[in-house]
Structure 1
Amino acid sequence: MQKNNHEHTAALYFDGLTNFRDFGGYATTDGKKVRKGFLFRSDELSKLSRTDMARMDQIGFKLICDLRTETEQKSNKSRMLNQGVEVQNLTMQDKSQEFTRLEFIRYLIRHGKDIDFEQTMKDMYHHMGTGSKSTLQKLFTLLSEKEKFPVLIHCTGGKDRTGFIVAIIQLFLGIPYESVIEDYLHSNICIGPRMKKAEKLIRLMSFYRVPAERIRPMLEVKRDYLEDVLEGIMSRHTNIEGYLKNECGVSQQHLERFKEVVLE
């Protein structure tokens, strides 16, 4: 099933996106299937070409959920604004984690040698698991409305915030755990070349004080990033539905309606 899903998404080629894909098409553990053409994920939408815009029109998106911070939204404006598509800003990171490019360069120069980027990523995922309640509540409320589909969920790289949200959605729908992990890790294949360039740029910005292997954890997805946060959630709840209802405040009605729309 995994292979077929990625073959399906390979046909959806964009000039200005590296991590775009349909995350439907999977069989669920209770014998159903997630519809294709309803749920999509990607990186940010500021570099869409004219051809890309035509492709987006062809898919016919009704709702775009932007998980980026206000700073990110301002510095890389989505080309899908004012295109007749509903765009919802569902910011996922707390304000303390917002950096402008200049601030990030300064931070790298001053602290680059001391930063444990892997721990930074794990802290960020932990924060997503405990601090995204209102975002998940709003998202699942939106996903309960049939007229909002097809839906596109994205952040900047489409790998971490989007990866976490997509994993929660897929697990809730009953997609097998290993398929969810594989779909999450597929971002590394999609963004590999782009992250190589980013790695060189970050090393240059830090005046080569930070070695490549130190930076890499920030530029890739790792199984334990996602598993650690999922284990934390499952230690507090019996399943993802319990997390969404009891911790995030999503109503049973909204959850049921979402399943009705996307499962066949």
Structure 2
Amino acid sequence: MTTDRIYIPPAQRKITSLVRNFRDLSKYCEGYMKPRFIFRSSSLIPYQNDSLYNNLKLLDVHSIIDLRSEIEYLRSSYNDWFLRDIHLYWIHLDISMPDEVLEKHNLTSLPFYKQFIWYILHYNKKELRRVFSVLANKKNYSIVIHCHEGRDRTGIIAALILLLLDVPEENIIQDYLASDMKTQYSDLEFLLEQIENLGGIREYLSSIYVTEEMQAQIRKILAP
């Protein structure tokens, strides 16, 4: 264990005390992921002020990936001054889950969050590729990834990133459950099973046109 990996900068402590579910994605992945490259969070929008901005800049945040829907975004969006030198990638994950889609794939008997996970993986391929395209560009780091609560959509993206970095499943589960609220062990198990059934994380990402070169670049950026 190194001091660098367990050190939490004051700026990060301040944001964590203010913003729900804000944490370093490497928190439960010591030895597998560099610290302070990706932060996962609930929406930062309710907390926009000079203090939050300054603390994000102290963490060298260059980009925000906002996974919220168009309705959520129109209802609550970032101020221009807050994004003056932070690049916003609004990559709206569709979570509509039409009944006809669930019926077509015999998913109606599944619990809601398992339907949700399945739908994200199978009906948001272009959006997921965009997320990984952002992650493959070193100039975008450090990055904050958020949805509304920082739990479901963000949790899926976080798990996919950690799988790509060969983080053990028990560590991925630990990170997923740290978002509390309604997160359940069985939901992440379902996600891991789905990825395995699709050939594993590398095969799944390749199937959505996240190339082997992009995957290698992400690992090069994030792995210690």
Fold-level match, TM-score > 0.5?
Answer: yes
Letter in 2 for 1:78: Y
Alignment of 1:176-255 (within 5 A): 176-188=168-180, 219-237=181-199, 239-246=200-207, 248-255=208-215
* AA at the equivalent of 2:203: G
Structure-2 residue corresponding to 1:113: none
Code of the aligned partner of 1:148: N
C-alpha deviation, 1:134, in angstroms: 1.0
* Map of 1:90 onto structure 2: 91
- The equivalent residue for 1:256 is 216
Q: Deviations over 1:37-89 (max 9, x none)?
A: 11110000122143222211211211111000011111122357532111111
Mapped to 2, the partners of 1:5 and 1:180 lie a distance apart of 17
Is the contact made by 1:18 and 1:43 (CA closer than 8 Å) also made in structure 2? yes
In structure 1, the gaps of 5 or more residues are 98-115, 189-218
- Residue identity opposite 1:245 in structure 2: S
Check whether the contact 2:65–2:144 (CA below 8 A) recurs between aligned residues: yes
CA 1:231/1:96 → structure 2, altered by over 3 Å: closer, same or farther? closer
Is contact 1:93–1:128 with CA below 8 Å preserved after alignment? yes
Matches within 5 A, 1:55-66: 55-66=55-66
Percent same amino acid at aligned positions?
25
With the length of structure 1 as denominator, give the TM-score of the two structures. 0.71
After TM superposition, the structure 1 stretch with the greater mean CA deviation from structure 2, 34-43 or 44-53, is 44-53
Change (3 A) 1:5 1:165: farther
What is the root-mean-square deviation in Å for CA atoms of aligned residues? 2.6
Q: What is the alpha-carbon distance in structure 2 between the residues aligned to residue 96 and residue 119 of structure 1?
A: 13
Say which is worse superposed, 86-95 or 37-46, in terms of deviation: 86-95
Alpha carbons 2:97, 2:116 under 8 Å: kept: no
- 1:230 deviation in Å? 2.2
Q: Deviations over 1:127-168 (max 9, x none)?
A: 112122112211111111111110111000000000010001
What's the CA shift for 1:123? 1.4
Give, in whole Å, the separation in 1 of the partners of 2:62 and 2:137.
11
Matched, 1:36 2:28: no
Who is 1:111 aligned against? none
Whether the 8 Å contact between 2:97 and 2:119 is mirrored in structure 1 is no
Residue 75 of structure 2 is matched in structure 1 by: 75
Residues 178 and 221 of structure 1, relative CA distance in 2, 3 Å threshold: same
2:79, 2:175 → 1: CA distance?
26
Higher alpha-carbon deviation: 65-74 or 119-128: 119-128
Alignment check: 8 A CA contact 1:47 1:79 kept: no
Structure 1 match to 2:14: 13
Higher Rg of the two aligned structures: 1
